[in-house]
C-alpha cells in the first residue's frame, strides 16, 4: 500500500463534534422582540464552520467546547450589574498605544483606530506612552522610556547573531502597561511592529492579554505580507517584494482582524465553533489570514449585550469603511446582511401600520 493510501483524511481533533443546527440554535439562546434581528434568513447569511485542511489548524488540535450566549452571560464579568453600575460598558474607552517605530506608509494606524471605533461602537483613543524605544547593540537589548519616568528601561530581549534578528519578551511590555492604565479605560492595548515572544520555546507570539488588568500587547511584525517565515527557527525570515498598496491593504485587514478578535477576548468572548467567525481559533498565520472579519450571530449577540450598538447602523458604518478602502469581499458580505435587515425593517414597519389600523378599528367599534 502506498503511503498516501494510509493517510487519514484530515478531521477534527479527537472528541470534537461540530455542532448541529439545534446546538447552534441553542448557542444563540432564546430570542424575543428586542433581538428579532437574528432571523433564519439573517443567520443563513453566515458561512458554516470550516473543516481543518492543515494538520496545524486550530480545530485539528484543540477540542473547543464553544461558548454559548447563556454561558457568556454567566462568565463575563462586564455583564453583571456591579460593573454596569460602576460605569456603563459603552461609556469607557478603548486605549491604543504604539510601541516603537512604525512606518505609516505601510501600517495604516489611523484606519485601525477608525475600524476599532466602528466595530465596538465605543470611544477609542490613541495615546503616546512609550518614547525612545532603542536598540542597544552592545548589550543586545531593546530599551524605552515612559513619559512620566525618564529613566531608560531595559526590556527582556533575545537576539540571534547570524540573522541579527531580535524579539522582545511580551511580558516586559505588559509590566510597563500595567503602571499606566487610564482610569476610564475599558482596556489598554500596545501595538508594535517589533517581533515578540513569551517562552524560549516559542517561535513567536502574536500577543498576550491580561484580562484581569485589562491590558494587552500585540505585534503585527508577522502580519507583514513582505515577510515569510519557517516553522523551526524564530530568528529566520525572508523578505520578498510586495507592491506597497497591496502590502498596506493586507496589513490593514490582518491588523483589524487580530485587534478586534483579541479585544473581544478581553471583553469575555471565547472562541467560536458555531459558524465561520472572527472568533474562531487559529493555529497558524495562514489560518488566521483566511478567517472572516465579522462576528457570527452568537458572538454578535454577546457584543450587542455589552455595547448596545444598533446592528444595522454598525453594518452601515462597516460598509462605509470597507468601501472606502476597497475591500470588496467584505463589502459584498455586508451588502447581503444589510439587505436582509432592511427587508426586516420594512416588514416590521408594515406590521406596525397594520397593528395601528386595527387599533383604530377597535376604537371606532367601541365608540359605536
Minimum distance from residue 101 beta carbon to Zn ion (Å): 27
Q: State whether the Cα torsion 306-312-317-318 is positive or negative.
A: positive
What are the distances in angstroms from CA 106 to CA 101, 168, 216, 327?
12, 21, 23, 16
Binding flag, residue 49, Zn ion (CB under 5 A): no
d(CA 28, CA 301): 8
Stretch that binds Zn ion, among 54-62, 93-101, 295-303, 357-365 (CB under 5 A): 295-303
| Beta carbons within 8 Å of 281's beta carbon, 6+ residues apart | 58, 59, 62, 64, 271
Binding flag, residue 24, Zn ion (CB under 5 A): no
Minimum distance from residue 271 beta carbon to Zn ion (Å): 6
C-beta of 48 vs 182, nearer to Zn ion = 48
d(CA 189, CA 9): 40
Q: Quote the DSSP letter at residue 198.
A: S
Residues in 267-286 that interact with Zn ion by CB under 5 A: 272, 277, 279
C-beta of 114 vs 299, nearer to Zn ion = 299
C-beta of 130 vs 204, nearer to Zn ion = 204
Instruction: For 71-101, give one letter per residue: b (16+ CB within 10 A) or e.
Output: ebeeebebbeeeeeeeeebeebbbbbbbbbe
Distance of CA 218 to the CA centre of its chain: 12
Binding flag, residue 293, Zn ion (CB under 5 A): no
Binding flag, residue 296, Zn ion (CB under 5 A): yes
Binding flag, residue 188, Zn ion (CB under 5 A): no
CB 91 within 8 A of CB 238: no
Binding flag, residue 258, Zn ion (CB under 5 A): no
Minimum distance from residue 172 beta carbon to Zn ion (Å): 22
For 300, other C-beta atoms within 10 Å of its C-beta total 24
Minimum distance from residue 362 beta carbon to Zn ion (Å): 44
What's the angle, vertex CA 193, arms to CA 203 and CA 93, rounded to 5?
110
Minimum distance from residue 125 beta carbon to Zn ion (Å): 24
Stretch that binds Zn ion, among 138-146, 183-191, 290-298, 346-354 (CB under 5 A): 290-298
Number of residues this chain uses to bind Zn ion (CB under 5 A):
5
Binding flag, residue 251, Zn ion (CB under 5 A): no
Binding flag, residue 299, Zn ion (CB under 5 A): yes
d(CA 96, CA 192): 11
C-beta of 172 vs 291, nearer to Zn ion = 291
Minimum distance from residue 299 beta carbon to Zn ion (Å): 4
Q: Which residues lie near Zn ion (CB under 5 A)?
A: 272, 277, 279, 296, 299
Amino acid at each position: 500500500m502506498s503511503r498516501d493510501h494510509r493517510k487519514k483524511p484530515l478531521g477534527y481533533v479527537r472528541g470534537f463534534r461540530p455542532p448541529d443546527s439545534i446546538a447552534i440554535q441553542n448557542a444563540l439562546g432564546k430570542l424575543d422582540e428586542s433581538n428579532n434581528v437574528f432571523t433564519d434568513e439573517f443567520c443563513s447569511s453566515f458561512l458554516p464552520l470550516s473543516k481543518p485542511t492543515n494538520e496545524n489548524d486550530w480545530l485539528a488540535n484543540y477540542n473547543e467546547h464553544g461558548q454559548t450566549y447563556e454561558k457568556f452571560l454567566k462568565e463575563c464579568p462586564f455583564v453583571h450589574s456591579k460593573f454596569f453600575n460602576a460605569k456603563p460598558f459603552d461609556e469607557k474607552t478603548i486605549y491604543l498605544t504604539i510601541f516603537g517605530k512604525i512606518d505609516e506608509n505601510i501600517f495604516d494606524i489611523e484606519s485601525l483606530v477608525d475600524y476599532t471605533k466602528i466595530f465596538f461602537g465605543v470611544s477609542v483613543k490613541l495615546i503616546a506612552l512609550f518614547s525612545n524605544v532603542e536598540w542597544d547593540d552592545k548589550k543586545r537589548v531593546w530599551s524605552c522610556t515612559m513619559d512620566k519616568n525618564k529613566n531608560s528601561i531595559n526590556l527582556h530581549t533575545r537576539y540571534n547573531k547570524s540573522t541579527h534578528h531580535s524579539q522582545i519578551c511580551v511580558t516586559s511590555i505588559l509590566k510597563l502597561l500595567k503602571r499606566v492604565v487610564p482610569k476610564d479605560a475599558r482596556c489598554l492595548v500596545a501595538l508594535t511592529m517589533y517581533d515578540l515572544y513569551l517562552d524560549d520555546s516559542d517561535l513567536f507570539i502574536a500577543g498576550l492579554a491580561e484580562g484581569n488588568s485589562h491590558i494587552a500587547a500585540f505585534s503585527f511584525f508577522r502580519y507583514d505580507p513582505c515577510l515569510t517565515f519557517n516553522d523551526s527557527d524564530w530568528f529566520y525570515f525572508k523578505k520578498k517584494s510586495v507592491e506597497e498598496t497591496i502590502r498596506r491593504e493586507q496589513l490593514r485587514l490582518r491588523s483589524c482582524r487580530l485587534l478586534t478578535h483579541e479585544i473581544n477576548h478581553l471583553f469575555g468572548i471565547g472562541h467560536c465553533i458555531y459558524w465561520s467567525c472572527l472568533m474562531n481559533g487559529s493555529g497558524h498565520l495562514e489560518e488566521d489570514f483566511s478567517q472572516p472579519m465579522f462576528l457570527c450571530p452568537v458572538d454578535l449577540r454577546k457584543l450587542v449585550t455589552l455595547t448596545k450598538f444598533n446592528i444595522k447602523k454598525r453594518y452601515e458604518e462597516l460598509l462605509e469603511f470597507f468601501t472606502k478602502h476597497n475591500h470588496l469581499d467584505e463589502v459584498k458580505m455586508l451588502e447581503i446582511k444589510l439587505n436582509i435587515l432592511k427587508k426586516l425593517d420594512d416588514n416590521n414597519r408594515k406590521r406596525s401600520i397594520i397593528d395601528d389600523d386595527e387599533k383604530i378599528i377597535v376604537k371606532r367599534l367601541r365608540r359605536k
